[in-house]
Amino acid sequence: MKPLAAEMDLNRIVRSADPARFFASQFIPGIDRDDIFALHAFDLEIRKIIRTIREPVAGEIRLQWWREVFQGTRNAETAASPLAHLMLDLTQRHSIGPQIWENYLDGRIFDLYDDAVEDRAAFEAYAGQTEGTVLQLACLMLDRGQSTSASQVSGYLACVFCLWDRVLQPVLYTDQPLTSQRVNRISRYLPPELRDASGLVANPYLESEAVDIERAVSEVRVVAESYLEKARAAADTVPPTLRPAFLHAAPMASQIAKLHRLSQLELPLKKAGTARLIWQLWRSSKRWPCF
């Protein structure tokens, strides 16, 4: 492991925040693994900013700091930040243009505010800027010459990750009440027609929502599965060198499949234990598509 990566203990950072990404990354060849860990640690750091800030402007200031790191105008501060230094080194070694980071950070600005996506195209664009950028960068690091062959799969899976991370998980894995504020935060990622069909529309006059969870999850699941099917149909274009970049999608796809029998499951759902997660990833690594 590179000295800066060791100093940051990227393993601990990624494992504690996202076990699926951590254990899936163990299937990546050692020469590339540190860079993938750094990429995931950066993405998780941005997620932490989104999750913890109280005022959108404060979040924009922190995202702007990262823009300036990638633009090379924060050199003194970059040297004092192990993650920033690591990301700048990674950017230079892999010849990643600053516009890629600009697109990613532009997408993350949406997370800071309460605006809803305008339509399906806007949702897919947001997914591509955020989750899609991370997937494509992982492909670029694994095999630059072949990375564009995975763009379709990355785009479709990015939409699934967004629906899973922003909508389904917050509903299924928490015992917090669905207040109007929470419903707004969750449903704003859904295109209008899916928002209406799912019933995830907040009533400003009620503090808590009487949401039909089964209906909401069913409607979102159908759309998530349609993107998964498109990703599977396009998977033949992805060469073996890039396939490890998508392994962490396997547990998500498995959980989405189980939602067909939501009425038989006890809510809130419990996340898979470490042993089961590793076993599931190992089995998924033996087939393609793995999701």
Q: What is the pLDDT of residues 149-161, one digit of tens each?
A: 999 999 999 999 9
Q: What is the pLDDT of residues 130-142, one digit of tens each?
A: 999 999 999 999 9
pLDDT band at 8 (very low <50, low <70, confident <90, very high): low
pLDDT average, residue stretch 232-247? 98
Give the range of the structural domain holding residue 168, as residue numbers without chain letter: 3-285
pLDDT average, residue stretch 226-247? 98
Radius of gyration of the chain (CA): 19
The answer to whether residue 238 scores a pLDDT higher than 80 is yes
pLDDT average, residue stretch 221-225? 98
From residue 168, alpha-carbon distances to 158, 212, 241 in Å are: 14, 13, 31
**Does any domain span residue 176?**
yes
CATH number of the CATH domain containing 107: 1.10.600.10
pLDDT of residue 117: 97
**Does any domain span residue 53?**
yes
In angstroms, rounded to a whole number, what is the distance separating the alpha carbons of residues 115 and 129? 17
pLDDT band at 208 (very low <50, low <70, confident <90, very high): low
pLDDT of residue 29: 86
pLDDT of residue 1: 44
pLDDT of residue 274: 96
In angstroms, rounded to a whole number, what is the distance separating the alpha carbons of residues 147 and 257? 28
pLDDT of residue 215: 95
Report the domain count for the chain.
Answer: 1
The answer to whether residue 77 scores a pLDDT higher than 80 is yes
pLDDT of residue 7: 52
**Does any domain span residue 241?**
yes
pLDDT average, residue stretch 111-134? 97
**Does any domain span residue 290?**
no
The answer to whether residue 166 scores a pLDDT higher than 50 is yes
pLDDT band at 251 (very low <50, low <70, confident <90, very high): very high
pLDDT of residue 204: 61
**Does any domain span residue 291?**
no
**Does any domain span residue 215?**
yes
pLDDT band at 31 (very low <50, low <70, confident <90, very high): confident
**Does any domain span residue 47?**
yes
Q: Can you give the pTM of this predicted structure?
A: 0.94
In angstroms, rounded to a whole number, what is the distance separating the alpha carbons of residues 98 and 96? 7
Mean confidence (pLDDT) of the chain = 93
